[in-house]
Structure 1
């Protein structure tokens, strides 16, 4: 943009806008980027752009058997992305840090150049105690002070740990601009979860555990010792339960996505699909009764796979249970919503740091 653009957008006087641009250029945050179109006076204005090398942000998605890292410059251009598999998360923060450093090396960056790092974990992070809950499936991340450990490994960066489904909700909010910013994201993937977005802001709860839908106790669920650790809802709609529903309908499937695909493609399996969607609907009703969100978003691999067929059947089941229900949609985010959400959050933190110093 030009000096005139800065003047118009900020409301500052033209001399102040010029001074601002000069200071930004001297600090290395913006740089000239050619001339604009010739104006009425016959002169083409000097244009400026953000210097993409003014800062860098990293997003990290930690899974039980992999660590995925994406690094972008301050303008949002991805400069490196890589997945390290084969139980790369086993050593906890140290393994994630090693992958981040390796990616920095490949991108020609020093880890000290990272302004922000957001780490996604499939569990709940309590910022007050600096501990993770519901991470029995994540070796190396179950000890106290995981955030402090990461910050010691990257002292120059602002480091944040966030729940994976919360980050998927951030990606959904970004992708569905123009829609209501108050919604509940119902996560149907290798685990069942949820995220609460209120007026465009995440609601994390007092211990970072808001949205842990796996522990909803709905009709048909059994509460026992296993339910206490895995979640009552998880046991009746999770991967094993979905494969069992498919098997009862005559479809042996190695994975839950295969099971769902077989059920949706078989007209004779309609009762099994109806039962699954009834369980989903019962969980969603509990959320609606407490939050009354503007919309419910079905997200995760199973939601994307089920698409409109799944959405229509869940909506039908909701209509049978309660007189009115909010809008029910399928996610419009990409197939990497967790990493996308972590990148959006990391860039926001990095930009705040870079442009407030």
Structure 2
């Protein structure tokens, strides 16, 4: 237990002396010294120069995590692309690759080939990977090892996708996770100090959601918790398309957003272009209000069931709309319900899915490496 505490402190502080370890842990001087010696002998920790000279005139020896003690990989699979990132156990990125072509995401074997290529770039053997987290734009049921809502992702509809990856990388701990869930992990990691219970409302190529309760993801019994695309709000049409894609998706997705922009006199080829047009044109205020009312109706349903401490707007549309979009959604939400939780725009980076996969992968890798 003491070993893990010190290793986690070294991750947090980068370098520590024996005195620092004693101060931060309350361990005795002999215990702190023997612990660091043991960790150094195990190859998990190594000396890292000398610190500032103290009152006794001697500079203390500093220690840091041995970055080569382990490696973690994050893989973001999207239609037509696979983005791979590999970090050492200390969290430094050692290789990254984005492959964009029709075959890149064609099943686990294609993603695995790109990951192996990224390992070659880093000068690593795939056997050196301790953890791999694969992000997919669909719901993953860990009990049956199957994905749902991945009709747009060729080669990933077959069962046992994680088992296939584990066969390809037998030395690593392999996890498959929903992309928006990983964005929520990145949000929690970036928004330290904020509440650990929130609903992340994803506004990107599609609409989605993720539920974080007391710092832990709530995935549901089949991995489908947070599939906001299937929320029913006023104006929803129940037909075959809604059953396949989700009723809310049809009201706020790419086609719907471009339709609202067209109704306001702006032809747009993409959802971001449509939203930009609505935000930039004062005469398009009614169309923007209608869009935000649809968002607010969906959020109100989530609040009624979960009562989260925060609602976080995330995804490229949320980042594009920024404070203007947040304020309009908040206005519409206030008109629907008397009291609503804090509504915020994401503070995560512009690659939250890959970042979240990396946070999760590093956590798994450290658990494996630091407990051996």
TM beyond 0.5: yes
Consecutive unaligned residues in structure 2, runs of 5 or more: 1-15
Which residue in 2 is equivalent to 1:338?
353
- How far off is 1:225 after superposition? 1.1
Which residue in 1 is equivalent to 2:11?
none
Q: Deviations over 1:108-134 (max 9, x none)?
A: 011111111100000011000000011
Which residue in 1 is equivalent to 2:333?
318
Q: Deviations over 1:258-299 (max 9, x none)?
A: 011011111111111011011000000000000001111110
- Give distance in 2, aligned partners of 1:35 and 1:312: 51
Which residue in 2 is equivalent to 1:167?
182
Counterpart pick for 2:308 among 293, 314, 321: 293
Counterpart pick for 1:135 among 131, 141, 150: 150
- How far off is 1:314 after superposition? 0.5
- Length, aligned pairs only: 357
RMSD: 0.9
Structure 2 residue 159 is the aligned partner of structure 1 residue 149 = no
- How far off is 1:89 after superposition? 4.1
- Give distance in 2, aligned partners of 1:277 and 1:106: 45
Q: Deviations over 1:202-231 (max 9, x none)?
A: 111111110000000111001111111100
Which residue in 2 is equivalent to 1:42?
57
SS of equivalent to 1:313? helix
Structure 2 residue 81 is the aligned partner of structure 1 residue 66 = yes
Structure 2 residue 39 is the aligned partner of structure 1 residue 24 = yes
Contact 1:123 1:163 in 2 (8 A): yes
TM-score, normalising length: structure 2: 0.94
- Give distance in 2, aligned partners of 1:227 and 1:11: 59
Which residue in 2 is equivalent to 1:243?
258
Q: Deviations over 1:248-267 (max 9, x none)?
A: 11111011100110111111
- Give distance in 2, aligned partners of 1:41 and 1:206: 60
Which residue in 2 is equivalent to 1:262?
277
Contact 1:221 1:236 in 2 (8 A): yes
Structure 2 residue 16 is the aligned partner of structure 1 residue 13 = no
Which residue in 2 is equivalent to 1:116?
131
Which residue in 1 is equivalent to 2:7?
none
TM-score, normalising length: structure 1: 0.98
Contact 1:89 1:140 in 2 (8 A): no
- How far off is 1:90 after superposition? 4.3
